[in-house]
Amino acid sequence: MLDLKFIRENPEKVRKALKDRGMSGEILENLLHIDAERRALLRDLEDLRHQRNLISEEISKLLQNKENSQEKIMEAKKIGEDVDRLEGRLSQLDEKLKDLLLNIPNIPHESVPVGTDSSYNKVVRTWGEPKEFDFTPRTHLELGEYLDIIDFPRAAKLVGSNFALFKGDGARLQRALIDFMLDLHTKKHRYKEIWPPALVNRMSMTATGQLPKLELDMYRLRDDDFFLIPTAEVPVTNLHRDEILEEEKLPLYYTAYTPCFRREAGSYGKDTKGLVRVHQFDKIELVKFTKPEDSYKEHEMLVRDAEEVLQLLGLSYRTVLLSTGDLSFAGAKCYDLEAWAPGLGRYLEVSSCSNFEDFQARRANIRFRTIGGKIAYVHTLNGSGLAVGRTLVAILENYQEKDGTVVIPEALRPYMHGLDRIIPSIEVR
RNA sequence: GGAGGAGUGGCAGAGUGGACGAUUGCGGCGGUCUUGAAAACCGUUAGGGCCCGUGAGGGUCCUCAGAGGUUCGAAUCCUCUCUCCUCCGCCA
């Protein structure tokens, strides 16, 4: 959420942001109109309340002196009626204003390329070369089936389409990746590990920006107003909701492994097969709370922390700076990391690292007290480090051999009890 | 799920209809003292909105878990919701 005062004083900046994102500017004009009306009303209302407060004080004194207060009470009552009327109107306007405010996206940072869709994204660097094969590389679907480590039909039997089920060395590889990533981020990069609930309430979902806009993309429980988290960003960012942090403690670094749940409503037809787009996947998330002046430096560092996972796994990738049209609602700037998937023959988004500036912090009311005693909003950042399922796709497709077996990347072997290769299971092991 | 108890500033904790946006302590900030620091002492310190002012600042309104209600007036009384604690039940 943007600062209302900022919008009021810089409407042209918000107008430009909406335009750059390819959105209509109508919402802004609407908001400015309501804001003006609301402020005029507020002035009248406060004036009335002031009068009433004065009379109430008089009544108090009259009563103490045992004098007659009936006349004053009648007067106050009359003002009270007007107050009620204006308050009713005010709460209507407040509601409208809040709704509009929650639906205005963040303002893209000046370094973000302007463009209405992903074709304007900019590759800022690449690492490694897309791997060449002297045979036609298989997709992770083919490999998963051949090695009997991923079982989509049975997952479909258990829940429905677009769910994954890992077996044997596939399950172990999944677990190894989680462990490997968490170890890297906690030990080397000094993030504190969090193991949060996978369910959160409506307030948490609103604070990080999933609600109200994306409610249909979320899984919601029927009997309680809880949601399955679409990313660990939600519980971890909400750790400090409604808190005032101390400046000396910033920046705070957190990492968390969680399953992530997404309905993917409206994305039918895209990536309908395989692990690329499933309703439940696993992800290691990185979250930072920083001082405003440090957030862009911290953002670059966070991206590097995520990139290191790919480097250690020996997966070639590119780092993409998203354009204004591709940027998420709450983000001010975002880099995607895309790993090369030879079987699919394309790059796969395995991480998305965003700086939200104070957009989430304002919604979530996360502030800090400076050493001088001033209070300000923190900046929040997060990124995947990494999405486990898609990383597994990249590993299978990059490390496959002609015979259909898959070599385990060196870095993962300690987490696989020394196993160096996945071969088809001939019988139940 | 049942029965009780509780929710107040950064934290702890007073406050049962008007003098309370709130005693006090801790913490924070400023100062005295000191070569410097600590201790001690003095002062200061809730958040937010609106209006006025170039500014320092001033005025005013709102906020005591949240939403309603009673009242001229609510932290205080009433209703509902949420959260936490204790006991019982159930359970990995």
CATH number of the domain enclosing A344: 3.30.930.10
Task: Considering all nucleic acid strands, name the nucleotide whose C1' atom is nearest to the C-alpha of residue A374.
Answer: B29
How far does the CA of A65 sit from the C1' of B72, in Å?
16
Assess contact for A360 and A151: CB atoms under 8 A: no
**Does residue A88 lie within 7 Å of nucleic acid chain B, judged by its CB?**
no
Assigned domain for A109 exists: no
- Kindly state whether residues A14 and A139 are assigned to the same domain: no
**What HEC string does A402-413 produce?**
CCCCEECCHHHH
Strands A243-246 and A366-369: what pairing? Answer: parallel
How far does the CA of A245 sit from the C1' of B11, in Å?
13
- Kindly state whether residues A150 and A78 are assigned to the same domain: no
Place of tokens 């074709």: A119
- Kindly state whether residues A248 and A380 are assigned to the same domain: yes
Active site residue A24: no
Task: Considering all nucleic acid strands, name the nucleotide whose C1' atom is nearest to the C-alpha of residue A49.
Answer: B61
CA distance A336 to A374: 35
* pLDDT value, residue A266: 67
- Kindly state whether residues A124 and A97 are assigned to the same domain: no
Q: Taking each helix axis as running N to C, give the angle between helix A388-398 and helix A140-147, from 0 to 180 degrees, rounded to the nearest 10.
A: 80
* pLDDT value, residue A223: 79
Assigned domain for A107 exists: no
- Kindly state whether residues A326 and A409 are assigned to the same domain: yes
Assigned domain for A143 exists: yes
- Kindly state whether residues A294 and A246 are assigned to the same domain: yes
- Kindly state whether residues A57 and A22 are assigned to the same domain: yes
Q: How many domains does chain A have?
A: 2
* pLDDT value, residue A267: 66
> Which residue, A52, A73, A102, sits at the end of a domain?
A102
DSSP A323: P
Residues 6+ apart with CB under 8 A from A297: none
How far does the CA of A91 sit from the C1' of B79, in Å?
21
The CATH number assigned to the domain holding A38 equals 1.10.287.40
How far does the CA of A355 sit from the C1' of B27, in Å?
32
**A353 DSSP β-pair partners:** A335, A383
**Does residue A64 lie within 7 Å of nucleic acid chain B, judged by its CB?**
yes
Full domain range(s) for residue A90? 4-102
* pLDDT value, residue A342: 97
**Does residue A369 lie within 7 Å of nucleic acid chain B, judged by its CB?**
yes
Task: Considering all nucleic acid strands, name the nucleotide whose C1' atom is nearest to the C-alpha of residue A372.
Answer: B29
Active site residue A263: no
Assigned domain for A204 exists: yes
Q: Which of A38, A138, A367, A390 is catalytic?
A: A390
Task: Considering all nucleic acid strands, name the nucleotide whose C1' atom is nearest to the C-alpha of residue A5.
Answer: B49
Assigned domain for A110 exists: no
- Kindly state whether residues A263 and A134 are assigned to the same domain: yes
Task: Considering all nucleic acid strands, name the nucleotide whose C1' atom is nearest to the C-alpha of residue A77.
Answer: B72
Alpha-carbon separation of residue A389 from A178, A284, A352 (angstroms) = 10, 11, 14
Q: Which of A89, A220, A241, A277 is catalytic?
A: A277
Active site residue A349: yes
Assigned domain for A246 exists: yes
* pLDDT value, residue A75: 93
CA distance A275 to A339: 14
* pLDDT value, residue A429: 43
Please provide the DSSP assignment of A269-289 as one string.
TSS-SSSSS-SEEEEEEEEEE
Assigned domain for A111 exists: no
Q: Which of A352, A354, A357, A384 is catalytic?
A: A352
**Does residue A43 lie within 7 Å of nucleic acid chain B, judged by its CB?**
yes
- Kindly state whether residues A58 and A127 are assigned to the same domain: no
Task: Enumerate residue ranges in chain A where pLDDT < 70.
Answer: 266-270, 426-429
Q: Which of A21, A138, A172, A262 is catalytic?
A: A262
Q: Taking each helix axis as running N to C, give the angle between helix A168-183 and helix A388-398, from 0 to 180 degrees, rounded to the nearest 10.
A: 110
CA atoms within 13 A on the CB side of A79: 18
Question: Each residue of A74-121: pLDDT tens digit?
Answer: 999 999 999 999 999 999 999 899 889 989 999 999 999 999 999 999
Amino acid at the residue A413: R
How far does the CA of A325 sit from the C1' of B55, in Å?
42
CA distance A351 to A303: 9
Rg (CA), chain A: 27
Q: Which of residues 244-263 of A touch strand B (CB under 7 A)?
A: 244
- Kindly state whether residues A98 and A122 are assigned to the same domain: no
**Does residue A272 lie within 7 Å of nucleic acid chain B, judged by its CB?**
no
Give SS3 for A210. Answer: coil
- Kindly state whether residues A55 and A159 are assigned to the same domain: no
Please give the model's pTM, rounded to 2 decimal places.
0.93
CA distance A177 to A389: 9
Active site residue A262: yes
Assigned domain for A108 exists: no
**Does residue A80 lie within 7 Å of nucleic acid chain B, judged by its CB?**
yes
Active site residue A362: no
**Does residue A60 lie within 7 Å of nucleic acid chain B, judged by its CB?**
yes
How far does the CA of A207 sit from the C1' of B10, in Å?
22
- Kindly state whether residues A205 and A147 are assigned to the same domain: yes
